[in-house]
Amino acid sequence: MNKVFYLSFSFLIVILTVLPTMAQSTASKNISTFSIQAKQLDTIKKIWVYLPESYSSNNKKFPVLYLQDAQNLFDKSTSFVGEWRVDESLDSLNLDLIVIGIEHGNEKRIDELTPYPHSEYKGGKADSYLDFIMNTLKPHVDSLYHTSSSAENTFIGGSSLGGLFSYYATLKHPDVFGKAIVFSPSFWYSEDIFDFTESLELKSLSKNQFYFRAGEKESEKMLPLMYKMKELLSTKLASNTQINIDSIPDGEHNEKLWSKSFADAAIWLLELDK
């Protein structure tokens, strides 16, 4: 065997050995996936499903959390720069919560998650994405799994543009989504989201609840806009206890922050004592 061939063959063996390790899935055994036609978006969406450990041995109906950007939620091998570790957190907490992760549309992500267009980044087609979740995905999930489909047991959440979308979705359909996890919301994207909040009738969100978190080392606008929205939103609620808001010291705009915040948010969703 000549030297060049030997080195090439050895290099190939190393690559074939290392690559599977580098791309090894970190998703727990409680994760599964399925694909569904999204006619509203003219595409097929991949959906990730987390079922709690108690699901198979329990016939009760479970609350459901719909999370955006599924690629970054459960599996390091599919994430951009780290994962939220949603499955590991819920496994360790032993919470009775189903999580539906919706993969973003890659180059269409901005279109899907923004309710209003930006002068430079465009977008503004979130209503179509929201229609898909409400009228295609949710009915399918409710038919497949033991879910409690009422608003008080249906939650939505996301970070960055996903946080903006989840906030908008709850305001748009408070009868569908009872609670929203809003991490590092991109309220800077359009002033229209403030106008929309302002346009709501007083106490129109009498039963809905919101969980806001953002880091102190994010953009200069992040915390001021989040707290500005909190003040505006509070005028539409029946009680200030409907808002759970805080800033995270040293928190940056990344999956590390949202992963760190998720466990507490999940406990809040289910109204459990820490």
Confirm whether 153 is domain-assigned: yes
Residue 232: left if φ>0, alpha if ψ -120 to 50, beta else—which one? alpha
Average pLDDT over residues 153-161: 98
Residue 172: domain span:
26-269
**17 pLDDT more than 80:** no
- pTM of the predicted protein model: 0.91
**CATH number of the CATH domain containing 216:** 3.40.50.1820
Cβ-contact 41, 127 below 8 angstroms: no
pLDDT, position 267: 98
* DSSP string over 167-219: HHHHHH-TTT--EEEEES--GGG-THHHHHHHHSPTTTTSS-EEEEEEETTS-
**84 pLDDT more than 60:** yes
**221 pLDDT more than 60:** yes
Average pLDDT over residues 218-235: 97
**4 pLDDT more than 60:** no
- Neighbour count for residue 27 (Cβ, 10 Å): 20
pLDDT, position 274: 61
Phi, psi of 211 (to 5 degrees): -115, 105
Count of the separate structural domains present in the chain: 1
Confirm whether 9 is domain-assigned: no
Residue 151, CA distances (Å) to 98, 159, 168, 193, 237 in order: 14, 21, 15, 22, 16
User: For 109-155, what is each residue's pLDDT tens digit?
Assistant: 999 999 999 999 999 999 999 999 999 999 999 999 999 999 999 99
pLDDT > 70 fraction of the chain, expressed in percent and rounded: 91
SS3 224: helix
User: For 28-83, what is each residue's pLDDT tens digit?
Assistant: 899 999 999 999 999 999 999 999 999 988 889 999 999 999 999 999 888 777 89
**224 pLDDT more than 70:** yes
Confirm whether 71 is domain-assigned: yes
Confirm whether 13 is domain-assigned: no
